[in-house]
Structures are given as C-alpha cells and as structure tokens.
Structure 1
C-alpha cells in the first residue's frame, strides 16, 4: 500500500463515520475531526505507554518521563495528522514552526494553567487533568485545522 493509498483509506473511513452520524451531528463534525480523534487517541496511548516504560522500566524521574513521553506523542501527532488527516500544503518548516507555537501555548495555558487552576479551586488533580485534556483536544484540533495546516491563500 502506498502513502497515498493509506491517506485515501484513512480519509474515506473518517468520512464513513461522519456519514452514519445523526443528521444534526453530520453538519458539525468534519471528517478531519474524526481523524484527529483517532490519531490523537492513538498518540495519547503511546504517551501513556512510553511514560510507563520510562518511569517503571528505566527508572527516570517523573518530570523527565513526562517531558519525553509528552514530546514524543506531540511529534508523532504532528507527523500522523500531516500525513493522514490534514492537507500538507505549506512547507513542512512553516507547519513545524506553527505547531511548536501551538504546543507551547497549549502546554502553558491548558495543560499547566487549567489543571493547576482547577486543582487550586479544590478539584482533585486527576479530574482537573481530564477537564484540561478535553479543553486541550478542542484547542489542538482548532489550531491544527485552521492555523497549522490551514489552506494557503489562493495564489494569483
């Protein structure tokens, strides 16, 4: 199977999922949103698996394990979303630069900010992290669709 075949099959599968949604949802849920959920669900699992291997297997300190696993998952997310889910119209360097900005904002404002803010308000940190994760998913999808992988303006 070629790269193009894999992309075509992935996009067709995402479109098929959208096609079976109730009529009201079909107008709101784009196939790229389904693709984002699949890709990022997979990369979240990679993040957790890698985190466990680094902490329990290699004995790294928690901060180091989190940093390596989180960074690896976001790099993998970029590659898979660029390849399978979004149109790679812009040069990869431009997209990587935009992605780094988005990830830095996401990490500072949502992963740390929302989680710590909710925990400081008395919400258990596990629940705070889940809420922050939901915010993160919405922010990252929007940023990737309309900023990182946005279509270039028409060339004249």
Structure 2
C-alpha cells in the first residue's frame, strides 16, 4: 500500500499543495472581485479568474514543484490541453452547482479540489515527466541518490 501512496506523499506533493493554495487564493480573489464586487456575469468572471492564474500555475509547477528540465514549449502545449479540460470542468461545475443552490465560492472550491487531484497526476506523469522517466516508464523525475 505504501508503494502505491508514495508518489502522493512526497516533497513534490507538499510544494504542489503550496502552489495550489496560492493559485486558489488568486483565482477565488479574482472571481470575488469580478463577480461579487464588479457584478460581472458569473461565467465570464469564472473564465477570467481561471485564465488569470494559468501562467503563475504553469511557471511555479514547472520550476518549483516538479523542477522539470523539459523544454517549456513542449510542456506548455500539454499544459494547454489540460487547461482546456480544466476550463470546461470549472465552468460546468461552478455554474451547475450554483444553479443547484450552492454559493459560487463553495462551487468554485468543489471544482478546485476535483481539478487539483486530476492535475497532480497529469503534471507528475505526463506534463513534467522527466525524459529519462518516460523512457524507463518510471513516474516523475528520478529520485535522488541517498548515501548510507
């Protein structure tokens, strides 16, 4: 069981959660500003808030979380494919749950948690996967060598 959970209990996971918390604050803060303060339509405000954090999220996940040495362009193309899926899921979840009576910030939180789980897996094993790991079929970048 620990072998299965090990990739999710790493320093990468901690850094991912820190970056995710920062991005969540930026995302929700922007949503509240646009929809709650400036009275922008919810779907448009959700979209702009979502786009606001894309560059920050990609940059921090690439350099700080997964410390990827892959070419940024290749990783960014994969990231944009994931963003398209995240965008659809985010707008559908936020507007759908809001229509069912949840507050839009609660709906945004539900959407964020669901996307975060999927994103961690996609980032670790697809977008920022080390080239050597892709060839050897090992997840993520190689583990550091520990001397006894």
How far apart are 1:102 and its partner, in Å?
1.1
Q: How many residues align?
A: 129
TM-aligned CA distance change 1:70 to 1:88, over 3 Å: same
Q: Structure 2 regions of 5+ residues with no counterpart? A: 136-148
How far apart are 1:129 and its partner, in Å?
5.0
Aligned Cα RMSD in Å? Answer: 3.2
TM-aligned CA distance change 1:142 to 1:51, over 3 Å: same
Paired residue for 1:16?
Answer: none
Paired residue for 1:41?
Answer: 21
Q: 1:107 aligns with which of 61, 71, 87?
A: 87
Paired residue for 1:134?
Answer: 113
TM-score normalised according to structure 2 size: 0.69
1:17-71 superposed Cα distances (whole Å, 9 cap, x missing partner): xxxxxx99x8450111111110011111011112233335555433332211111
Contact 1:87/1:151 (8 A) holds in 2: no
Contact 1:95/1:148 (8 A) holds in 2: yes
Paired residue for 1:94?
Answer: 74
Q: Structure 1 regions of 5+ residues with no counterpart? A: 1-22
TM-aligned CA distance change 1:68 to 1:111, over 3 Å: closer
TM-aligned CA distance change 1:92 to 1:44, over 3 Å: same
Match runs of 1:115-154 below 5 Å = 119=97, 124-126=101-103, 129-153=108-132
TM-score normalised according to structure 1 size: 0.66
